[in-house]
Amino acid sequence: MKTRAAVAWEAKKPLTIETIEIGGPKAGEVLVEIMATGVCHTDAYTLDGLDSEGKFPAILGHEGAGIVREVGAGVTGLKVGDHVIPLYTPECRQCKTCLSQRSNLCTSIRATQGQG
């Protein structure tokens, strides 16, 4: 799928709007066409070069809403056409908040989020 993205090639430089190619979903994944997004304070923090874990190039704007366009093998909870709000932070599925269906508050965020 081809789409446009605001790409940050390095800290403290202007974003560039580019056409990029996104591959289809792997097993357990879905492809979401983002219909609206914003750049929040964590994006600005990364773009300013202040995030020691931030890596470039980066496509900022992780707070969005979109529509599922493709579904990978094994996905059962979503279907093409579903409207979704992606959660960019993986959850551990083991801590108290994950087990109580509040995975957005996962207490192991740094262990699951990784670098960048």
Q: Give the confidence band of 61 by pLDDT, cuts at 50, 70, 90.
A: confident
- Mean pLDDT, the chain, integer: 87
2-85 CATH: 3.90.180.10
In angstroms, the CA 110 to CA 89 distance is 9
What pLDDT does residue 75 have?
95
Beta bridge partners of 59: 7
Per-residue pLDDT for 115 more than 60?
Answer: no
Return residue ranges of the chain for CATH 3.90.180.10: 2-85
How buried is 46 (Cβ within 10 angstroms: 0-12 exposed, 13-18 middle, 19+ buried)? buried
Range with top average pLDDT, 8-12, 35-39, 56-60, 86-90: 8-12
**pLDDT at position 111:** 56
Confidence of residue 110 (pLDDT cuts 50, 70, 90): low
Residue 73 has pLDDT above 90, yes or no: yes
